[in-house]
Structure 1
Amino acid sequence: MERSLETQVSQAVDAWLRWLPRWEPATHRGRVAPCRRCFGSPILSSAGVGADVPHGVQHGLSIRMKGIVDQAVAEYTAKNLPTLQAELDQQAARNRSRSYRPGEGLEPEFEGMPMDPDPVPGAPFLFTIAGLAQEADADVPELPPLSAEAKSALRQEVGLADDYANMVGRELCAILLHHRLRVQAAIAQHVEPQIEAMLAELTRSLDAPFDGSADRGADPGPSAP
């Protein structure tokens, strides 16, 4: 599994590096709440992606790594955790029956991101994508209740799946240490110049009111006698 995991991580980093030149700073308002996937992520830290790197850049890499862990856990669950697998199969069938699934089939850079922008106080949305998805979900019947024995078995198997996910995550972090240099080099090449350009433009806009241009052509008022 170690060699396979190394290959998957290398391919995921390669895919992220191919995408990174297309990244551009967001022009809309920033998020109110931090992304739980990226904030304080040991995966990003192992890859050499600092907290000062824009979230869009972080998310594109972390979600790809999450996909690797999720796939490993899915394979482990299918082989070893029958109660959890049965519950997941029922949930997957329920999800497929929904008529509107806006969060599925997205590119990694957008997977897990908010479907709607943060609302502006005093200006409510007529509708939201998340709201439409909730309405569609309300039409799908709930899963049948579990017995006490099934709940106990499910809790135990969920714990085992979490332990396995943590183990894979630690291995993944160790592998990412070998990719730090090329990750950081790509950020320096494609991300930092755009951030520096934004800061330079902000500096110019802040300095503009004090350069005297606003006073040129203004009425000087009555002259002294």
Structure 2
Amino acid sequence: MERSLETQVGQAVDAWLRWVPRWEPATHRGRVAPCRRCLGSPILSAAGIGGNVPHGVQHGLSTRIKAIVDHAVAEYTARNLPMLQAELDHQADRNRSRTYRPAEGLDPEYEGMPLDPDPVPGAPFLFTVAGLADEASAELPPLPPLSDEAKAALRQEVALADEYANMIGREICGILLRHRLSVQAAISQYVEPQIEAMLAELSEALDSPFDPDSP
């Protein structure tokens, strides 16, 4: 039996709430480029997660919600958009034939995140995970070409899929409003104390950088 959208969102939020206590601030150098999935996301805004919340915390929830939207759009496409579905099937078959797929099968907290850190100027990488994945993709044959008429029809179906995704997203935003208190409580309990402790430690280090008694 298909779960209702409200049930799916509730389960996604519950899974995120179980994960949040395990979150820790990143100790490695972060990437400069913002995450297009999370930056200015109405989903996160509806859930009560502000832009000042660490990106890892944001990403864990936005990715779980994205999976719900993707599933709903996939079902809609299979029922109503045959040309787009055929193109997606071709692309899926092509992807399955790749020998290296590092971005697949990741936990929600890491799905969609960059596969490699930003390079350091003057110290290029010998290789990158993304580069190896691109090499594997380059070995695949291209998708069959489409006529101009088929391209126009496909663009129309893509637009319909986008409209449906936006509709589902708006409905999910309404559902997430009911979870704001639990989401914000988790951030206050598990995230903010770690950020405050990290800032206090940084402030102490800046106040006494040459203190011989400091560790």
TM-score bucket of the superposed structures, by smaller chain: over 0.9
Q: Which residue of structure 1 lines up, in the alignment, with residue 209 of structure 2?
A: 209
The whole-number CA distance in structure 1 between the counterparts of 2:204 and 2:155 is 58
Residue identity in the other structure for 2:95: N
The whole-number CA distance in structure 2 between the counterparts of 1:138 and 1:30 is 29
Deviations 1:119-145 (A, max 9, x none): 000111010000000000011000010
Residue identity in the other structure for 2:90: Q
Q: Which residue of structure 2 lines up, in the alignment, with residue 60 of structure 1?
A: 60
Q: Which residue of structure 2 lines up, in the alignment, with residue 126 of structure 1?
A: 126
Superposition pairs of residues 162-201 of structure 1, within 5 angstroms:
162-201=162-201
**Post-superposition shift, 1:193?**
0.6
The whole-number CA distance in structure 2 between the counterparts of 1:7 and 1:79 is 22
Q: Which residue of structure 1 lines up, in the alignment, with residue 20 of structure 2?
A: 20
How many residue pairs match? The answer is 212
Q: Which residue of structure 2 lines up, in the alignment, with residue 69 of structure 1?
A: 69
The whole-number CA distance in structure 1 between the counterparts of 2:115 and 2:210 is 41
The whole-number CA distance in structure 2 between the counterparts of 1:54 and 1:119 is 22
The whole-number CA distance in structure 2 between the counterparts of 1:81 and 1:209 is 63
**Post-superposition shift, 1:150?**
1.0
Deviations 1:180-208 (A, max 9, x none): 00000000001001000100100110011
Residue identity in the other structure for 1:45: S
Deviations 1:146-201 (A, max 9, x none): 01121111000000000000000000000000000000000000100100010010
Moved over 3 A (4+): none
The whole-number CA distance in structure 2 between the counterparts of 1:77 and 1:121 is 44
**Post-superposition shift, 1:210?**
6.7
TM-score of the aligned structures, taking structure 1 as reference length? 0.92
Q: Which residue of structure 2 lines up, in the alignment, with residue 218 of structure 1?
A: none
Q: Which residue of structure 2 lines up, in the alignment, with residue 36 of structure 1?
A: 36
Residue identity in the other structure for 1:165: A
Residue identity in the other structure for 1:189: Q
Q: Which residue of structure 1 lines up, in the alignment, with residue 137 of structure 2?
A: 137
Q: Which residue of structure 2 lines up, in the alignment, with residue 155 of structure 1?
A: 155
Residue identity in the other structure for 2:109: E
Q: Which residue of structure 2 lines up, in the alignment, with residue 48 of structure 1?
A: 48
Q: What SS does the corresponding residue of 1:175 show, helix, strand or coil?
A: helix
* Kept after mapping to 1: 8 A contact 2:8/2:68: yes
Cα RMSD of the aligned pairs, angstroms, is 1.4
Residue identity in the other structure for 1:198: M
Residue identity in the other structure for 1:148: D
Deviations 1:69-107 (A, max 9, x none): 000000000000000000000000000000000000000
**Post-superposition shift, 1:64?**
0.5
**Post-superposition shift, 1:30?**
2.0
Deviations 1:44-82 (A, max 9, x none): 000000100000000000010100000000000000000
TM-score of the aligned structures, taking structure 2 as reference length? 0.96
Superposition pairs of residues 80-91 of structure 1, within 5 angstroms:
80-91=80-91
Deviations 1:4-46 (A, max 9, x none): 0000000000000011111100011122111000000000000
